[in-house]
Amino acid sequence: MRLVVVPDAEALAETAATLVRDRVRANPELVMAVPAGRTPRRMYERLRDLQAEAPVEFSRMRVLCVDELCPPAAADGYFWSQVRREFLSWAAVKPEHCHPFRVDVADLDAMCRDYEETIARLGGLDLVMLGLGPNAHLASNEPGAAFESVTRPVRLLEESVIYMASDGPNVAANSGPLAERAVTLGLATIARAREVVVIVSGAGKRQALRRLTDGPVGPDVPASVLRSHACCTVLADRDATG
Q: Give tens-digit pLDDT for 179-235.
A: 899 999 999 999 999 999 999 999 999 999 999 999 999 999 999 999 999 999 999
Our count of domains for the chain comes to 1
> Amino acid letter at 165?
A
- Mean pLDDT of the residues in the chain: 95
Rounded Cα distance, 114 and 109, in Å: 9
Residue 32 φ/ψ, nearest 5 degrees: -130, 135
Domain that holds residue 165: 2-241
**161 by DSSP, 3-state: which?**
helix
Q: What is the pLDDT of residue 175?
A: 60
Task: Write out pLDDT tens, residues 103-130.
Answer: 999 999 999 999 999 999 999 999 999 9
Pairing of strands 127-130, 62-65: unpaired
Q: What is the pLDDT of residue 176?
A: 66
Query: At 218, which CATH number?
Result: 3.40.50.1360
Q: Model's pTM, two decimal places?
A: 0.95
- Report which of 104, 77, 31, 78 is spatially closest to residue 172, judged by C-alpha positions: 78
